[in-house]
A and B are shown apart, each in its own frame.
Chain A
Amino acid sequence: MDLNTVLQILDSAVRLMTPLLLACLAGLYSERAGVFDIGLEGKMLMAAFSAATVAALTGNVWLGAVAGLLGALMLSAVHGVASITFRGNQLISGVSINFLASGLTVLLGQKIFGLGGRTPSLTPGAELEAQVTPFRAWLSGITGPDGAAALTATPRFGEITLPFADALRGVPVIGPLYAEVISGHSILVYVAFLMVPLTWWVLYRTRFGLRLRAVGENPASVDTAGVSVTRLRFAAVAIAGLLCGLAGAYLATGLSAGFVKEMTAGRGFIALAALIFAKWRPWGALGATFLFGLLEAVANRYPNLDLGVITVPSMFMNALPYILTVIILAGFVGRAIPPRAGGEPYVKER
């Protein structure tokens, strides 16, 4: 295995871990506030669908991203009302959100595009052009044809080349690493990585973070201090929705080009496993999701891993992330203590 292969795998790992990282941080905010969120999967799926749909109809990925955020936020609101306001069972609410998203995306997709539940491919072509034309025509009434063409020409997130990427390429090891692995991703990848230190700072250095952590451990302590448990938990659930929205938008308009049925493929659950692995800590989330991303990248790269004696079948490689999840959840990686008030609706005691 030469350096180039390693770099390619790492590059792929960074792309694949991004939605996991965003979803994992989403879960972190929610669960740290004491609201279990098994609906990460559904929210991501809804966000991916809304983002791809709006991007396909407008040809503008930013409008798509906003739609993705709104789509996930809407399901977050459902989760919040069910499990905070009405003190329902958080797991049941999450599961129903997953089912709702799974069914609703396909139904709406078929209704809007008639392509069997998927959205048109976001790569430039006749299929996309047909969808964008009405919006572009309407927009040119406001901005003029040139403006409209410019605004509807980016249905996907492009790759950003970081400064000096080409200049440093000649430097051994570091140069290619910078140019291949770190540079050349879409903006959402960088947003996701910046969310890690930001989340750490919010949790441990701000008043909001202190109260958020407190409400997940002992909501009565927050309540008796005269701070609203309900508002804090809603804030956390909303943040979780926004992060899931980013994750979904990245899946459909960054990593792939368009939405297909069930495209999250269990990433929401892998993110939950990563959250446990990370022991509900931001830097841990980075490490855990990198591990899962790496496994997926390796599996993609070597569908049939030839070990000389035997050939590991591709099914095994594809199953590896899930096998790892089982091992992690079985507790082989030390004790992970969840937030103490997690899963419990807060009821004032007499």
Chain B
Amino acid sequence: MAAETQTRGRPETAAPAAIELRGISKAFGPVQANRDIHLRVERGTIHGIIGENGAGKSTLMSILYGFYKPDAGEILVGGRPLTITDSQTAIRAGIGMVFQHFKLVPNFTVLENVILGVEEGRLLRPSLSKARGVLKRLAQDYELHVDPDAVVENLSVGHQQRVEILKALYRRADILILDEPTGVLTPAEADHLFRILEGLRAEGKTIILITHKLREIMEITDTVSVMRRGEMVASVRTADTSPEQLAELMVGRKVLLNVQKAPARPGKPVLEIRDLRMVDASGVERLRGIGLDIRAGEILGIAGVSGNGQTQLLEILGGYPEKGSTVSGEVRVNGAPLPLTGAGCNAAERRRKGVGHIPEDRQAEGLIMDFSAWENVAFGYHDAPEYGRGPLMDRDAIRRDAEGKIRRFDVRPPDCDLAARNFSGGNQQKIVVAREIERNPDLLLIGQPTRGVDIGAIEFIHKRIVELRDAGKAILLVSVELDEIMSLSDRIAVMFDGRIMGERLPGQTTTGELGLLMAGVDADATPPPKIFPEKCE
């Protein structure tokens, strides 16, 4: 293709890129999901896009697939500028998308799902028989074997994903975008997926792989881009980078927040975890033998790239393990064993035993967004004797209590009757923090305390966490922000792939060393430079 003129002042490559983004920006209200994104993906390569949850990866890909209109910027497909107004345009331009949550009709057969939207004519029969032939050929070419007459809801997750890939290929996609494809897969299924992707690359297809798993990036991609907080912070050849470098780029180095704190004076053990294991509903092992101790008056920080089991750990300790999962092991609080299954395993019971919880996702788990601030302050503790008069709620008492907490935690605006939804992210978080900290729990579980929170509120929340520690309470802090872990924790445990990779003391470690552990490399076991195991399994 004589495309010299279309590459427009990019002399370093002759052939047009499969996809090129120039200055893409997108905001949702006050949230800047994508800011001035530039990206270039060469034809016939696998390009990884890596970043934390909420870094803007999915938004970017949704723009590419016509789900959102960018506020600014230009998209070039095969060197030609293209305005993608809807999914149909994207499909015609040869872009196929495999969403994280599959877009399949559960009670349709594989064939019906594949032809949906690209039927040949008004009647189904010709389309179905054509698709049957195409599917057979695709199955042979790319190891994409699925029974075309199987009903999708009866298929395993891995097979459902193949149906999604088949859908894209049936629509003649040349560029295949996969959003977190391995999140729901077992390791064997993931390996199979990677073989499929390699086969597609060999056929000249371009693949964009969105993930937050470093292992996948290192294993399969040719080039990789890192996103953080809506910006594209780096684009490099995979061969020229290392997992620890990527981990550092992902979590970033913010201005180091200084937390004033005296050395910890640890007391008796409050939380003891022994060999905690968890297999989720789809059979994937999420926790593989966690062992941890936290003493009174200390903060244990858990560092790690998200998706390595931190969420599951918090949910189990909080009393609400994922439905359908199997949990085993031993957890003691103040010496008494906590039930991990059955009737005694619920959040209310945990709170009665002195376990407070600031959940990772405050909007889904920490608050009821349409309820007012004073109601949210009482949630979880609404059975407390001081909140009730017999079977009735004592509204005045709750409101008085809520007003106090809102004042002491400087929630703005200080309006008890405002719905939680109408507070900013930082103030929403202060409501949750106030509720949990002021109950004075023996053990406080904290997940991502400052995600989406402004600097001022971050400092305030950190100060309160340290005060609680100084009052002799045990704190488990889970955060993907390495700086937060480094500045708050008295000890740091690094989680990777459902295991504790190691424990370090904040004064005696570096972000580099932690980054290595977060990538699944134990520096004590392997010489640090340049040696990365082919597979971490």
Q: Chain A: residues with CB nearer than 8 A to chain B?
A: 204-211, 213-214, 217-218, 220-227, 340, 348, 350
Contacts and interface: CB of A to CB of B under 8 A. Distances in A.
A211 to B, nearest CB: 7
Nearest to B62: A350
Contacts of B123: 205-207
Given A214-B105, A217-B108, A218-B104, A227 B124 contact: no
B107 to A, nearest CB: 6
Contact of B119 (A204, A210, A213, A340): A210
Interface string B169-180: 000000000000
Interface in B76-126: 86-91, 97, 99, 103-108, 112-113, 115-119, 121-125
Contact of B113 (A220, A221, A223): A221
Given A206-B123, A207-B122, A227 B117 contact: yes
Contacts of A225: 87, 91, 103, 116-118
Contacts, number: 73
Contact of A221 (B62, B97, B103): B103
A207 B104 contact: no
Interface in B406-443: none
Contacts of B89: 226
Closest 5 A/B residue pairs (Cβ): A225-B117, A226-B88, A207-B119, A226-B87, A221-B103
A286 B58 CA distance: 47
Contact of B99 (A209, A210, A224, A227): A224
Contacts of A220: 103
A32 to B, nearest CB: 12
B106 A226 contact: no
Given A206-B123, A224-B87, A340 B106 contact: yes
14 contacts: A206-B124, A207-B124, A207-B127, A210-B112, A210-B115, A210-B116, A210-B124, A214-B105, A217-B105, A221-B103, A225-B103, A226-B89, A227-B117, A340-B106
A227 B119 CA distance: 11
A346 to B, nearest CB: 12
Contacts of A207: 119, 121-124, 127
B106 A217 contact: yes
B97 A224 contact: yes
A52 to B, nearest CB: 37
A226 B91 contact: yes
B449 to A, nearest CB: 23
A320 to B, nearest CB: 34
A52 B195 CA distance: 68
Nearest to A205: B124
Given A209-B124, A225-B116, A226-B90, 8 more contacts: A205-B124, A207-B122, A221-B113, A224-B87, A224-B99, A225-B87, A340-B107, A350-B58
Interface in B43-100: 58-59, 62, 65, 67, 86-91, 97, 99
B125 to A, nearest CB: 7
A225 to B, nearest CB: 3
Contacts of A208: 122
Contacts of B106: 217-218, 340
Nearest to A228: B86
A222 B107 contact: no
A340 B105 CA distance: 10
A179 B107 CA distance: 43
Contacts of A340: 106-107
Contacts of A226: 86-91, 117
A222 to B, nearest CB: 7
A34 to B, nearest CB: 11
A253 B65 CA distance: 53
Contact of B125 (A205, A217, A348): A205
A125 B423 CA distance: 71
A211 B116 contact: yes
